[in-house]
Structure 1
Amino acid sequence: MIRVIGLGDNVVDKYINTKIMYPGGNALNFAVYANILGIEASYIGVFGDDNAAKHVYQTSKSLGIKLDHCRFYKGENGYSKVKLEKGDRVFVDSNKGGVSAKYPLTLSGVDLSYISEFHMVHTSCFSFIEKELAILRQYSKFISMDFSNRYTNEYLKECCKYIDCASISCSKMKDEDIITLMKDIISYGCKHIVIATRGARGALVLVDGKLYEQSPCLIDAVDTMGAGDSFITAFLTGYINDMKETVDFSVESGNKGLTKVEEYKDVVIRANLYKAAIFSSKICSCNGAFGFGKSYKE
């Protein structure tokens, strides 16, 4: 079984209609979802010293996420303010990362040695990690980065040359425009996979030049928070775990990543896309990204 690590953002999502906050954040969600799927997961990020930070940290630790390399600073933890509209989460406001923005991660030699032990690293455009990507590339077997819908061509060009998988949120784009963007991302240097989530329209996934489409597993969603993160986590961890015996993951190989493939690759991709759609629908049946709500006061 593979081992994975989330690197970067953690937040609380504050639901303004109920005054309940839930742990979340793209990189932390990845680690938690991987853990739910039975995969050993760690997380490195920055925590504040307020009640929100304590809730996120204690919840993550109770779930079995390894947090040994996290940082702690005096100040406000990252948060977003959210409202629900017929089960669909809508972001209203945020503090733009809180202490994570004020004290962005600088990876030490100890951190990098630790990261090199994992099969996959996942980070995001909310993680303030851009300046670390070049050195991270040297120590990582597979790097995934989620750009959400917060990207420009210049930003993609800056980051994609260091990563193996890029994820983008494209619910309001036409499919032909999405496919063009996916191909552009590969041309910017992303090595192997582009995942484009389209909300209720499912996902388009480009793997080593071959395009796949996955329909959603539609349900009456309680809360769509984490729908994209859970899909990405389930697909990537399942695919990499299934392919690990035929993939060269050694740093010494020059970080070529997914280069050795077998005839069953297509079946593996399709199976894990289907599993990812089911897992994502299950996540949409709980409140917050993965539950564990707690009341808060302004």
Structure 2
Amino acid sequence: MVKVIGIGDNVCDIYIHTGIMYPGGQAFNYAAYARMLGAESAFIGAHGDDPVGQRVIEILDQRGIDRSHTRIYPGEENGFACVKLEDGDRVFCGSNRGGVLQKHPIILQENDLQYISGFEAVHMSNNGFTDLELPKLKGLGPWISYDFSYRWTEEERVNRVCPYVDVAFASCSDLSEEEIWNLCEHMHEKGCDIVVATRGSDGAFASDGENHFRQLPHLVQAIDTMGAGDSFASAFMVAVAENVTQMGKDVWKKKDDRKAIIRNGLERAAEFSSKICLISGGSGDGIRVPEEMYNRIQEITKTVSR
């Protein structure tokens, strides 16, 4: 069983059309999906002690996701986002911009780094306020993956992240195939070994700097696309980590084996992400929004169902 860890953001996604909130956030989702896939997973984040933070912590414990190095800040508001669905596609309607995490970003200490070195893969994202911690992880041992989402357009971010990342994920639904390969080449030049570009229902593309890959989607009648990209990234990384661990690290240096591992990772990612689109919320476990949160939510969006 491989060990993977998500570091960065955690939220509850508050569905304003139903009044239900679901645990989420890119780094949290990575840990949650990896656990669903049978990996041993952990999460390092910053939590408030409000109902949102308490709910995320409760779910981490229920799912057996280690949170021994996470931070809890009494009196602070946890991150949350307001969401609605339109024909199964999630549409964000505002957020508190990370809440406590923006105020108290994660600074990795020596004991954190020793802990992280025991994992096969670590994942961060553009919403984690953790970019400046990436140099501490380089050479530590685990594969380092990072989800740019749509913020690969920010050249400053690309310059500070790519030199320290093994696998970069980018959301590219508006790009042509030629533009995607150009983006992959650019990220390779900046330091990434593998670039994976997702395009929702149009599938995904990947590059290892020498070879191009295309993955067709496993099309389903989606109930909720929340978490589709995060689940794709999680399943890809778990599959790659499992294959490299089983076959030995030297296998990655062999061209044909590397190609086979990437193809397997893409196929498993497409399969898993399609299943996530058949559940509500990023990974389920929704509860009614606590009454004491309504005024705060209405400061961000004017409508929430009771």
> Could you tell me the TM-score, scaled by structure 1's length?
0.93
Supply the AA of the counterpart residue of 1:160.
Answer: C
Residue 140 of structure 2 is aligned to residue 139 of structure 1: yes
1:225 match: 226
**Kept in 2: contact 1:21–1:294 (CA 8 A):** yes
**Kept in 1: contact 2:29–2:230 (CA 8 A):** yes
1:84 match: 85
Residue 87 of structure 2 is aligned to residue 96 of structure 1: no
1:268 match: 261
**Alpha-carbon deviation of 1:59?**
0.8
Alignment of 1:189-268 (within 5 A): 189-190=191-192, 192-248=193-249, 259-261=252-254, 263-268=256-261
2:299 match: none
Which range is displaced more, 266-275 or 26-35? Answer: 266-275
Which range is displaced more, 270-279 or 6-15? Answer: 270-279
Supply the AA of the counterpart residue of 1:214.
Answer: Q
Deviations along 1:218-248, whole A, 9 cap, x unmatched? 1110000010111111112112211224453
Deviations along 1:106-145, whole A, 9 cap, x unmatched? 1111000000010110010111111211112142421100
Unaligned runs of 5+ in 2: 295-306
Alignment of 1:139-158 (within 5 A): 139-151=140-152, 152-158=154-160
Supply the AA of the counterpart residue of 1:292.
Answer: D
Residue 167 of structure 2 is aligned to residue 165 of structure 1: yes
**Kept in 2: contact 1:246–1:262 (CA 8 A):** no
2:285 match: 292
Secondary structure of 1:139's counterpart equals coil
1:255 match: none
> Could you tell me the TM-score, scaled by structure 2's length?
0.91
Which range is displaced more, 145-154 or 283-292? Answer: 145-154
2:112 match: 111
**Kept in 2: contact 1:46–1:72 (CA 8 A):** yes
1:12 match: 12
Deviations along 1:243-291, whole A, 9 cap, x unmatched? 2244539xxxxxxxx8533643333322332221111010000000000
**Kept in 2: contact 1:243–1:265 (CA 8 A):** no
Residue 271 of structure 2 is aligned to residue 278 of structure 1: yes
Against the structure 1 CA distance between its residues 264 and 150, is the aligned structure 2 distance closer, same or farther, given a 3 Å change threshold? closer
Deviations along 1:60-111, whole A, 9 cap, x unmatched? 1100100000000121101111110000001110111000000000111100
1:186 match: 188
Between the aligned partners of 1:181 and 1:231, the Cα distance in structure 2 is 19
**Kept in 2: contact 1:246–1:261 (CA 8 A):** no
Supply the AA of the counterpart residue of 1:197.
Answer: T
1:33 match: 33
Which range is displaced more, 16-25 or 204-213? Answer: 204-213
In terms of fraction of residues, the more helix-rich structure is: 2
Between the aligned partners of 2:99 and 2:121, the Cα distance in structure 1 is 26
**Kept in 2: contact 1:27–1:124 (CA 8 A):** yes
Residue 76 of structure 2 is aligned to residue 59 of structure 1: no
Identity fraction in percent: 44
Against the structure 1 CA distance between its residues 172 and 107, is the aligned structure 2 distance closer, same or farther, given a 3 Å change threshold? same
1:124 match: 125
**Kept in 2: contact 1:224–1:284 (CA 8 A):** yes
**Alpha-carbon deviation of 1:57?**
0.8
